[in-house]
Structure 1
Amino acid sequence: MDTEVVVHRIGSNSPLCRTSKFALFRWPEMTLMEQPSSYLAHLGRRSPSIATSRNSAYALSYWFNFCRAADIDWQHSSIDDLYDYKTALETTVSQKTGARRSAGTSYQYVGAVVEFYDFAAGRCWYAGDIRKSEAPQRAIRADHDKLAHTKSGALPTRKRSPIAQKRNRSGTMIKPLSIGSLQRLLSEMGPDANDAPAGSSVRNRLIADWGWAVGLRISEILSLRADQFSDLVGDPSVPWVHFSIEVLGKGNKLRRVSVPSWLIEHTQIYVRGERQRCVALGRTSEERLFVSTADSKSPGQGITPRRVEAIFGAACLRAGLFVNVRRLDPETGLMCLRQVPAHCVHDLRHTYAVLTYHAEVTQGNSEPWKKIQAQLGHSSLKTTTDIYLEYVNAHNDFRNASIRDLVGLSRR
């Protein structure tokens, strides 16, 4: 049987578990690939993010399997081999999605391999020409905010490895929801906390509200704690007044964001009602605000970003917010049309930024970007304008002064 490189989650008894949750093994004999696994342990020490270790582990497994299929010894591979790998990534479909990989995905896979080889060269495991000496680490790992929102991810003022080079296209990739689309989506996400029938769940709708009305990332929403709302007292007669709430942002940096009083009120309704019932049912001591529902296998436990994305995607499909794409059917091997969500949770953050810009301009604020920058947690004002300026210039037909009014929700 052919040997294949696989990613394996490490058990708590493994010495590697102190620094990494993932390692590479040769299947079916399940022998540890010591050098790549040591690199993953190094990543675990450098970054606490499990997602970083997992993504790097899978990227390396793809590369090692490519080398195996091409009969290449990874310790003697060359830059030409990596070019061939990059071409293979861009010209084949993903087994997971059945669709062609995007340029961004290929960039990340190849970048992960270059990072590993640079580490391997420093440990004298590798003496070939796959290096990033021409491009410092900051160039290989391009600025996340800019890379995440551009078609090319290109940073023309920085040198990058030609292997990791992405296509140089202009234009923005943000996809804010239109007002009509947002209204349909919110309806499918669940009832408003003030209007919810007895016993119904308001959690999913509330998660969406923290995205479009505050501009939080999904990780920031899920890092909120229930005790943050215990002592806040809002005035129902002025639901557009704002409170200041502390959130844990990217890079484990704390920042304060402005939250409308109506959203604080809705969150407190959830905490005192649905959340309290779920935690009691599961007999947990969960601190995080958003927990699994009463009908889940583990009620009262904190929920994951993947689960939220699945809920959001299903709501998009029900709301008619989807696109038809050609995907490979793994059973028949034939290409077929499938409906996939046209938006992801992060698009709610973009929606907040666009709505807030137009609301601030309508109110006479000559510098709306500064407020949006502070709310979104961008370290640079240029990052904010680079992401959104082109879009708002092309879509300037908003007139209302409140983003809640823009969406057509009552002020109660």
Structure 2
Amino acid sequence: MAYDVEICTARAIASEAIVTTDVRGVPLPEGFCFLVSRYDGTIVQPAFEFFADSHLTVGPTPKLACSKNTTAAIAADLTDFHHFLDARKKRVSDVDEDLLRSYADTLTDLDSVVTLDKLAAATIHRRWSTVAKLVAFCVRRGYLRKPPALLSKQTKRGTVQVLDVGVSLPGLNDADELITALHPETVVGILDELGPNPVTALNGLVELAYASTAQRLMAELCYHAGMRRAEVCDLKAQTVLETRTEGRNPLTAVAIPVVGKGNKKRSVPVPVWLLESLRDYAIGARQRLIDRRQRHQKLKDHGVLFVLDVKNSKHAGKPITPQTFDRHFALAKDRLLKRISKERDQARYESAQRERITIHALRHTFALYTYMEKRANGDMDAIKYVQSVLGHSLRDTTESIYLRSANAFESETRESIRLHIEGQPFMRTSVEA
């Protein structure tokens, strides 16, 4: 029988959500993902045991050992693998080296549902890594009839056993690993495709515009605060409403609390003009959608800042998910490239086509320009500031990736981060407490 799996997510700690492995009788924490069969709703094993073993803390009340978005991404990877097994009428217990190599081959043929292009090399490596960890778990538990070999590997956390199967995956060369900043014109173009500019310049003064879309404001947070896509989607309305900006220079920044990967909290500086635009959205467009949701469905306010603005009352007011944000951004990218293609600047069009225009690229752009700007202003340890704002646990992560990228990028351009308002750029300045 085929698995025909779908993803289930624990919405809250409840007595009916019971772990069925070694921690029997313990309720699942909110955000925990697992796979179930569409046929009868039963939990799909051993994927569930793998989730519980690798993504729950040990204790009387287990918690997620990583962020909700990480577990969701892993669940999506394992869903794809189980669909692969279904197509070949295989079970997890049938997995061997030949089947794994076959799966690796299919990854290079798959198309992204967002870009409609072939999967990026980084995505392929992530999916393979997820499946390799599942299979290694199954080997250790003795669940496979023809188990592949395991190899001991030294990591910063000690010795771990990893799958020892040679597969052909697209290479992650220096060009793939090097983080690049988007061209300023590309940033302005993609933001404009997502919605009206939230601010205008009048007589040299920055003023709020009348309205902007949720998608535009979400992208502004990625670009001007370096927030991750998931962090933006999880941002609470109350966080914005409680942040004081009265009397502050709109070009300064005020730090707000953000929950990042692994449920780690950090403070992220957000420009005052953007915070005021977010507040206007929260008390205006968002509140109207929440009121509509409550009138039609009698549901409580979930508290998430960015919500769907659609005609269907069933979906209006629901939180915007990272996947929905991805789709809106991909459509905006297509519109931008189509618009540029109609212009006579062929070199600009070819350059835009080569750029990795993604939501995460806005975060990269923020990081590289911020590093360059801080260093230009005399900060001898600019990478430390970037590490703090981005939420990297290890300095090595920021230093080895972003610093190397900044040095390469700086050789091509000396422009500072700028916000373009009706063709007039202005500089970002200091952070206020």
Shorter-chain TM-score above 0.5: yes
Native 8 Å contact 1:185 1:319 kept in 2: yes
Distance 1:5 1:211 in 2: 38
Secondary structure at 2:258's aligned position in 1?
strand
Assess if the C-alpha contact under 8 Å between 1:40 and 1:56 holds in 2.
no
Structure 1 residue 365, shift from structure 2 partner = 2.3
8 Å CA contact 1:243–1:258 kept in 2: the answer is yes
**1:114-153 Cα shifts (integer Å, max 9, x gaps):** 32333323433235342434347889xx9xxxxxxxxxxx
- Is 1:214 the counterpart of 2:218? The answer is no
Match of 2:195 among 179, 190, 197: 190
Moved more, 240-249 or 126-135: 126-135
Summarize deviations over 1:214-263 as a string: whole Å, max 9, x none.
00001111222122233433256622222121100111100111222222
Does 2:269 correspond to 1:251? no
Residues 322 and 347 of structure 1: is their aligned pair in 2 closer, same or farther, counting only changes over 3 Å? farther
Instruction: Tell me how many residue pairs correspond in the alignment.
Output: 374
Please report how far the alpha carbon of residue 316 of structure 1 lies from its aligned counterpart in structure 2 after TM superposition.
1.6
**In structure 1, how many angstroms separate the alpha carbons of the residues matched to 2:281 and 2:91?**
56
Quick one: distance in 2 between partners of 1:362 and 1:74? 55
Q: Residue 44 of structure 1 contacts residue 53 of structure 1 at CA under 8 Å; is this kept in 2?
A: no
- Helix, strand or coil at the partner of 1:246: strand
- 1:272 deviates by 2.5
1:115 aligns with 2:126: no
**AA paired with 2:362?**
L
* Unmatched runs of 5 consecutive residues or more in structure 1: 143-157, 325-338
Residues 382-401 of structure 1: pairs in structure 2 closer than 5 A: 382-396=396-410, 399=414
Q: Name which of structure 1's ranges 210-219 and 42-51 shifts more when overlaid on structure 2.
A: 42-51
Answering whether residue 234 of structure 2 is matched by residue 223 of structure 1, we say yes
SS of equivalent residue, structure 1 residue 320: helix
Q: Does 1:83 pair with 2:101?
A: yes
CA displacement at 1:270 relative to structure 2: 1.6
State the SS of the aligned residue for 2:254. Answer: strand
In structure 2, relative to structure 1, the CA distance for the partners of 1:93 and 1:282 (3 Å cut) is closer
Q: Distance in 2 between matches of 1:382 and 1:137?
A: 14
- Map 1:160-179; keep pairs closer than 5 Å: 161-163=164-166, 167=171, 169-171=173-175, 172-179=177-184
- Choose which of 143, 152, 157 in structure 2 pairs with 1:125: 143
Alignment of 1:286 onto 2:291: no
- 1:30-56 Cα shifts (integer Å, max 9, x gaps): 987544455456566464735145224
What per-residue deviation string (whole Å, max 9, x for no partner) do you get for residues 300-342 of structure 1? 3321111111111222222227999xxxxxxxxxxxxxx9995
5+ unaligned residues in a row in structure 2: which ranges?
Answer: 11-15, 21-26, 58-63, 201-207, 295-299, 342-352, 429-433
SS of equivalent to 1:134: strand
Secondary structure of the 1:319 match is helix
Native 8 Å contact 1:22 1:53 kept in 2: no
TM-score (ref. length: structure 1): 0.74
Q: Pick one of 75, 79, 83 that aligns with 1:54.
A: 75
Q: Distance in 1 between matches of 2:142 and 2:261?
A: 34
Match of 2:371 in 1: 357
Q: Which of 266, 272, 277 in structure 2 is aligned with 1:261?
A: 272
* Amino acid across the alignment from 2:419: R
For 2:406 and 2:112, how far apart are their aligned partners in 1? 37
State yes or no: 1:232 paired with 2:243.
yes
CA RMSD of aligned residues (A): 4.1
State the alpha-carbon separation in 1 of the partners of residues 148 and 270 from structure 2: 48
Residue in 2 aligned with 1:331?
none
- How far does the alpha carbon of each residue in 1:335-377 deviate from its partner, in whole angstroms, 9 at most, with x for none? xxxx999522111101101221232233232322111111101
8 Å contact from structure 1 (residues 288, 302) kept in 2:
yes
Letter of the structure 1 residue corresponding to residue 359 of structure 2: V
Does the CA contact (< 8 Å) of 1:60 and 1:112 recur in 2?
A: no
2:213 corresponds, among 188, 202, 208, to 202
Measured in 2, the distance between the counterparts of 1:294 and 1:276 equals 14
Letter in 2 for 1:310: R
SS at match of 1:280: helix
Residue 311 of structure 1: which of 318, 323, 328 is its match?
328
Q: Give secondary structure in 2 for the equivalent of 1:379.
A: coil
Distance (Å, rounded) in 1 between the aligned partners of 2:43 and 2:239: 45
Distance 2:217 2:387 in 1: 23
Moved more, 279-288 or 373-382: 279-288
CA contact (8 A) 1:107 1:165 kept: no
AA of the residue aligned to 1:185: I
- Contact persistence 2:133–2:163 (CA under 8 A): no
> 1:361·1:368 contact (CA, 8 Å) conserved in 2?
yes
- The one-letter code matched in structure 2 to 1:8 is E
Q: Aligned with 1:232: secondary structure?
A: coil
User: Amino acid of the residue matched to residue 82 of structure 1?
Assistant: L
Q: CA deviation at 1:14?
A: 8.0
